[in-house]
Chain A
């Protein structure tokens, strides 16, 4: 009797679950027949919708969905025409850009050269590289609807490289009336000319962002490669879903709820590598650089000898082991421009990429008369890829004789506190860490940590070094590749001599996707064009 009751109840519960499952699957089937949707969990939630005002990587990724760029960078980091082709005058001072045919805004109106001029001018207000370029521009004017001319006031080496750079920030082309708004004003709309149309009505900041295929997008004929080539879209919709819990994200891809994880946490990777339905790969071979920055305004790091002692105490290997763990996904790299880039050089970083030099660090610290001044290191405890570095470096500095105080806080408090120039006792700081995409630090012209004016246009820490500024200026004005390479090496050496920044190595993020997806485009930018999804 009891057994039959249990069986009947179990049977009822099965029926209930089955009915729910059928109802759910019926609606999903209907949806699947109507359209192909890729559900992707990105590394961060999309909230701010201005990819030029924001240097956040998620804003950059959004920018590449909705907008397009004049020039692309292929998988080998070579410049390729994207929206426009170009010619350069014999004296190297005049660049004429010609838009390709068929470029349309998402509202159906044609893209014109006036839109490009306004967009480049706006980008020149926000971006470090853009500012540098605009400081050397004599005029930027539309010739007709298809052509515009950029005239330099003096020879400048990086015109095309800066316009092609994917981060941070890329010069996305926006409609003239949007790009002409005063800097800092919110964008009037989110109309772009990129391969996807942003669906404003379905945008839930911090939760979900929806993109639909832009049916009238005219892709290039070349194969997709990096941010260059064809941006043909083969799916109807892409939904970026924000999941605050990474374990849930892994469960969701294993169960088929989502298709794609942009950055798989290293510690959860084994849970996916054992699943034959899922592929995990590095798409951005350059990856990220993790780095440390000292505050030049406050003791003890206002003293060069003490900065050098700290540099000698630091070992990259320990930092990367704690941060990534799996040696397949990190490399020792002492270059301030990241490794495997055109300007890469590791001069002056020898101890960093070996085992440090604790004895020399201790000697130098003693020679400098270090008075046990506390070194306040900021640690963001809520960001998994930034929490280990402060702990490891703090321990290495302690071994050298530093009196280190770790201050734990959330990332937002940290980014506010790092803006303080006051002493650590009054809310300031001595050292902090962050990660930058290598494609945003690849040259002396664009790497923000190398700006050494000592003013607010320098990145937090405010180094002041006239020789560095001189070298950066010479690099920007140089057009000779050999001379540029030699100047980059000099910048690297100066950065290490003055301890302007402490490169802590390079690591790659691992992207995971269900095998229903194919033709994933490799490169520094997360691309949803070219991607196909099987039924």
Chain B
């Protein structure tokens, strides 16, 4: 497994290089100019040109690319063209909210969706199965911001149990941290609960028809053991894939949820950077996202071997 791990890591290098080159070229070829943001609306073309020169944006693209790659290889992600702060510090500021939100949402998702999917499969065709499937259709169909506003209206404005917006780090206390995380995590998990409940149900239905499940039942094992130890473990591979991909998507940006709850996460950072054409920030975030997908896919692949003993690397 170790050699497989190393092999996979090595294959990530060309992937990252292609991503780096693509994002750099695409940004330079797309319309937009960070100098205009800095200069403001009243600046004339001459003033904008002065700022562009000072930022080095008038250099040939190849020169800019080599400079960026050279710094990147030394671990320097660059400096924001707009705020002049280092990109690494900007990402570090946004990591805690994003990772906290993603972990909370994925935890809620798994705790709710997997049991629901298992029960729906177990009671296929029953009212509970129909209910789970109906709720999951609603989860898919209702836009995230609608769920967000409904939760805010009920729990923050009417009942006043939870704050309307914002994020507080763990350093501000567990109560503050959790109270501001509950509503966005619930909002974010709504889509994933629907997705993973359906995935779990489909996967479980397939496994429950297998001979070894009939054998387990014939041995007199309890339903709980049959469902969760024998069936769920074998049905776990596609579920893990979706959970992993879902986590990667949450970390790489959940702009709507972050915006409605005013959470300063990576999703908002990348949107702000794109709108401001802040090239170093966009480049770093896309590279980070690509790296994250590579790592999460690798971890998912490795986890297959843990859940399914037939898989060996």
Q: Footprint of B on A, CB under 8 Å?
A: 17, 19-24, 26-27, 45, 47-50, 53-57, 59, 126, 128, 168, 182-186, 203-208, 241, 243-245, 247-248, 251-252, 254-255, 257, 382, 410-413, 415-417, 419, 427, 434, 436, 440, 448, 451, 455-460
Q: Which of B171-179, B187-195, B237-245 is the interface stretch?
A: B171-179
Asked if A255 and B41 sit within 8 Å, CB to CB, the answer is: no
Asked if A24 and B82 sit within 8 Å, CB to CB, the answer is: no
Asked if A448 and B175 sit within 8 Å, CB to CB, the answer is: no
Q: Which residues of A contact B309 (CB under 8 A)?
A: none
Q: How large is the interface on B (under 10, 10 to 19, 20 to 34, 35 or more residues)?
A: 35 or more
Measured CB to CB, the closest approach of chain A to B40, in angstroms, equals: 3
**A251 and B269 in contact, given A55-B41, A207-B93, A415-B41 (Cβ under 8 angstroms):** no
Interface mask (B198-237 → A, CB under 8 Å = 1, otherwise 0):
0000000000000000000000000000000000000000
Q: Which residue of A lies closest to B176 (CB)?
A: A24
Asked if B173 and A27 sit within 8 Å, CB to CB, the answer is: yes
A-B contact pairs, 20 of them (CB 8 A): A17-B161, A20-B162, A20-B179, A21-B161, A21-B175, A27-B175, A47-B82, A47-B272, A54-B39, A126-B47, A206-B264, A248-B165, A251-B152, A251-B157, A251-B164, A255-B157, A415-B33, A415-B37, A451-B44, A455-B46
B71 within 8 A of A: no
Residue from B37, B176, B260, B269 within 8 A of A248 (CB atoms): B260
Interface mask (B16-55 → A, CB under 8 Å = 1, otherwise 0):
0000000000000001110011111111111111110111
Asked if B41 and A436 sit within 8 Å, CB to CB, the answer is: yes
Q: Which residue of B lies closest to A41 (CB)?
A: B262
B282 within 8 A of A: no
Interface contacts beyond A53-B51, A184-B53: sample of 17 additional A-B pairs, CB < 8 Å, sorted by A: A22-B175, A24-B176, A48-B82, A56-B40, A56-B41, A57-B40, A59-B40, A126-B47, A168-B40, A205-B90, A248-B152, A248-B261, A411-B275, A415-B37, A419-B36, A419-B48, A451-B44
B88 within 8 A of A: no
Asked if A20 and B264 sit within 8 Å, CB to CB, the answer is: no
Residue from B36, B164, B178 within 8 A of A415 (CB atoms): B36
B115 within 8 A of A: no
Q: Footprint of A on B, CB under 8 Å?
A: 31-33, 36-51, 53-55, 80, 82-85, 90, 93, 149, 152, 156-157, 160-166, 172-176, 178-179, 259-262, 264, 268-269, 272, 275-277
Asked if B46 and A456 sit within 8 Å, CB to CB, the answer is: yes
Q: Which residue of A lies closest to B49 (CB)?
A: A456
**A55 and B84 in contact, given A19-B175, A183-B50, A244-B262 (Cβ under 8 angstroms):** no
Q: Which residues of B contact A56 (CB under 8 A)?
A: 37, 40-41
Measured CB to CB, the closest approach of chain B to A386, in angstroms, equals: 10
Q: Which residue of A lies closest to B43 (CB)?
A: A55
Asked if B40 and A205 sit within 8 Å, CB to CB, the answer is: no
Q: With A and B bound together, what is the CA distance between A382 and B85 in angstroms? A: 26
Q: Which residue of B lies closest to A413 (CB)?
A: B31
Q: With A and B bound together, what is the CA distance between A94 and B47 in angstroms? A: 29
Asked if A448 and B176 sit within 8 Å, CB to CB, the answer is: no
